[in-house]
Amino acid sequence: MSKSYESKDIVVLEGLDAVRMRPGMYIGTTGPKGLHHLLWEIVDNSVDEIANGFGDTITVTLEEDGSAQVEDNGRGIPVDIHPQMKVSGVEVVFTQLHAGGKFGNDNYGFSGGLHGVGASVTNALSRWLSVSVFREGYEYEMQFESKGSGSKIKSGVTVAPLKKVGKTTRTGTLVRFMPDDRVFEDIVFDLETVSKRLREIAFLNKGIRIILVDERKLTDGEAFKQEFKYDGGLSDFVKYLNENKSTEHSKPIYFEAKSDLVQIACAMQYTNSYTENTFSYVNNIPTSEGGTHETGLKSAITHAFNDLGKRYGLIKDKDPALIGEDYREGLTIVLAIKMRNVQFEGQTKTKLGNTEIKPEVENLSYAKLMEFFDQNANKNILELAINKGKNAAKVREAARKAKEITRAKNSIENSNLVGKLSSCSGRKAELNELFIVEGDSAGGSAKMARDRSFQAILPLRGKPLNAEKKRLAQVLANEEIRTIISALGTGIGEDFNLSNLKYHKVIILSDADQDGAHIRAILLTFFFRYMKELVLNGHVYIGLPPLYKVAKRDTVEYVYSDAELPEAIERIGKGYTMQRYKGLGEMNPEQLWDTTMDPKSRSLMRVTLEDAANAELMITTLMGDNIEARKAYISTHANFNKEDNFKPVN
């Protein structure tokens, strides 16, 4: 790798012209995810610098005025004149889309920033941006602004050329920017979102030190501060994910490998869970839909464990054949690879598609696993893995028989469904909606309220099973779960086929109380564990029924949260009446249609999986067996001092 890093190394692909006009093309959305994308573009640049051997610390500061600052102690952005653009390297990086030192292979071996569109987009979508560069003994400064109004805003305009402001012994880059409130719905950075992503980056980049400071949040006059540094890297990540589970061995399985195409790091640890949890990353980018790297690793695990089991006499010839899912039951896996020329696929571009990576990851991982388990110190983990695989195979066979019985009972089940499921007449799955409704009372109202041309109703007559604590065979034994599987038409487990989905909107519609919230949590846990593709592809929604009806004569207003109630009462004025809905069954069909089911007026919340690792931790904490962890979470996040702000009925 070349140690030289000059302006000539910055390759310019195109300018900034369209960013302000179509921000969604570059950052996906102008909502919270897009806002935070601005920050990740700058952080990614610093991570790439440090991951490639230059510097060791990144500091992210959320400023009191709403701006954000990112500082690293890398080499600093080049300040000399770019030979093609005839301006400084700093100006090129912040004004030219897809400009950077990462498109060649000399300055950055592997780059996470390649998934984004560069610091220039952060500049284009900010009110202002300033950059300080500490390089070769001097400090340099440059400012940019987005000037104008309405449709005539000029984005990321250079205020003045780069200037040298003095001598320094520091090295690195400091960027500070203010998101443009004319672009984004909200410009408030969420501390929890930033903290989770920075922790994840620290796990994925062993030894990197990341400091998070929030000047908006003061305790005794001191700003909130967190520091992330994990010398164990992915091993620490796996331990973190499993901290609320019972682990079967204290030291995770860990290996690293490298070829001309790819760098691999992988950590694995067995728990007493019944589900496999795999989290993969490419160049620090989460690949929640998996891809060729995951396929290669899983093939290597199966191949290696089968070969090792036979080599050490742990698997006999008479034993039933073990398959990959047997070995992966209860296994938490984190796989991180770094590579060039990444090709993402899938609904949300979170699936690796490079075909050349599967055999590469498979061969490298197989060799490293064989090497790891050939060490006497690791033989006990191998024996554990083989025994868990054998036990899982027996359970799998029992589940297969249970599913065969289920399939055999399909005609009976479908006849039972006739009484439960009120289907729709439409035959286009992409237009159809399935409302999973709590109880017969709400189900009756929903059936009368619906538009039967595209809306189906499935009432649940009891609470479904908590899938977090059960194997698939036990889950399938639950009548409510079987009913949902039959209604959706996709099958489950290895039989799951998303193309057979009968309803492209699966809407959980439960009461706005604790029981309703529990049913939502149980259903979401089931979908996450056994039908994750439904969530990944955006088919799962939560219906949001109103909490209150505020009325005066012919004026009616429905209120969906406690926070909205005072304003609604003020709009209605004196002499109002107020009804608090305790359940969906209290609404007549017309009210249910107007507030909750009519696509023109209802509120739906789509369930997304932007952070699979955090979702795993959350479900384990809230739905698993660790009561103390659940208490700790509730104690931290619940608002025990909430006061009702009801006004008396006039």
DSSP states of 574-634 as a string? TT-EEEE--SGGGS-HHHHIIIII-TTT--EEE---S-HHHHHHHHHHHHSS-HHHHHHHH
Query: Does domain 7-228 bear CATH number 3.40.250.10?
Result: no
For the cut 50, the answer to whether the pLDDT of residue 537 exceeds it is yes
Query: What's the predicted TM-score (pTM) here?
Result: 0.76
Q: What is the mean pLDDT of residues 1-29?
A: 69
Instruction: Check residue 101 and give its pLDDT.
Output: 53
Here the tokens at position 427 are: 């035959």
Is the pLDDT at 622 greater than 50, yes or no? Answer: yes
- Per-residue model confidence as pLDDT tens digits over 45-68: 999 888 888 999 999 999 999 999
Which pLDDT band holds residue 435 (cuts at 50, 70, 90)? very high
Strand residues in 392-477 grouped as ranges (E): 433-438, 455-460
Where is average pLDDT lowest: 61-65, 72-76, 139-143, 244-248? 244-248
- CATH 3.40.50.670: which residues of the chain? 409-545+604-610
Q: Are 389 and 328 in contact (CB under 8 A)?
A: no
- pLDDT tier, 195 (very low <50, low <70, confident <90, very high otherwise): very high
152-193 tens-digit pLDDT? 788 888 998 899 999 999 999 999 999 999 999 899 999 999
4: three-class secondary structure by DSSP? coil
Residue with the larger pLDDT of the pair 320 and 271: 271
| 147/504: higher pLDDT | 504
Q: C-alpha 216: how far from its chain's center?
A: 25
Higher-pLDDT residue of 99, 86 = 86
- Cα 304 to Cα 104, 218, 322, 362, 390, distances in angstroms: 36, 52, 12, 10, 15
**Closest by CA position to 49, among listed 126, 145, 134:** 134
pLDDT(145) > 80? yes
DSSP 322: P
In the predicted model, what is the mean pLDDT of residues 620-643?
Answer: 60
Residue 85 has pLDDT above 50, yes or no: yes
Could you tell me how many helices (H) and strands (E) the chain has, helices first? Answer: 20, 24
pLDDT score of 555: 87
**Range with lowest mean pLDDT among 49-53, 309-313, 613-617:** 613-617
The residues assigned a catalytic role are 438, 511, 513, 515
472: pLDDT confidence band, cut at 50, 70 and 90?
confident
Extract the tokens encoding 450. 């619906």
DSSP assignments along 273-316, one per residue: -SS-EEEEEETTEE-TT-BHHHHHHHHHHHHHHHHHHHHTTSS-
Phi, psi of 495 (to 5 degrees): -85, -5
| Calpha distance 43→32 (Å, rounded) | 17
Of the candidates 251, 267, 121, which has an alpha carbon nearest to the alpha carbon of residue 203? Answer: 267
Closest CA to 584 of 623, 545, 621: 545
Task: Locate CATH 3.30.565.10 in the chain.
Answer: 7-228
Name the DSSP letter for residue 562.
G
Instruction: Please give the Cα distance from 40 to 270 (Å, whole number).
Output: 32
Q: What percent of the chain has pLDDT over 90?
A: 45
- One CATH from 3.40.50.2300, 3.30.930.10, 3.40.50.300, 3.40.50.670 for 409-545+604-610: 3.40.50.670
Element (H, E) at 52: none
Say if residues 48 and 112 touch (Cβ distance below 8 Å). yes
Least confident of 105-114, 213-222, 328-337, 370-379: 105-114
Question: Once rounded to an integer, what is the mean pLDDT over residues 7-15?
Answer: 59
For 17-47, the pLDDT digits (tens) are 578 778 877 888 888 889 999 999 999 999 9
d(CA 560, CA 547): 5
CATH 3.30.230.10 residue ranges of the chain are 234-400
* pLDDT > 70 fraction of the chain, expressed in percent and rounded: 84
- In this structure, of 123-127, 414-418, 489-493, 502-506, the range with the lowest mean pLDDT score is 414-418
Amino acid letter, 168? T
Q: Does the structural domain 234-400 have CATH classification 3.30.230.10?
A: yes
Per residue in 88-134, pLDDT tens?
889 988 988 766 555 445 555 555 544 345 889 999 999 999 999 99
CA angle 395, 400, 402 (to 5 degrees): 95
pLDDT at 395: 80
Among 597, 497, 591, smallest CA distance to 541 is for 597
Please state, rounded to an integer, the average pLDDT across all residues of the chain.
84
Coil, strand, or helix at residue 321? coil
Closest by Cα among 506, 510, 488, 507 to 442:
510
Contact call for residues 252 and 385 (beta carbons, < 8 A): no
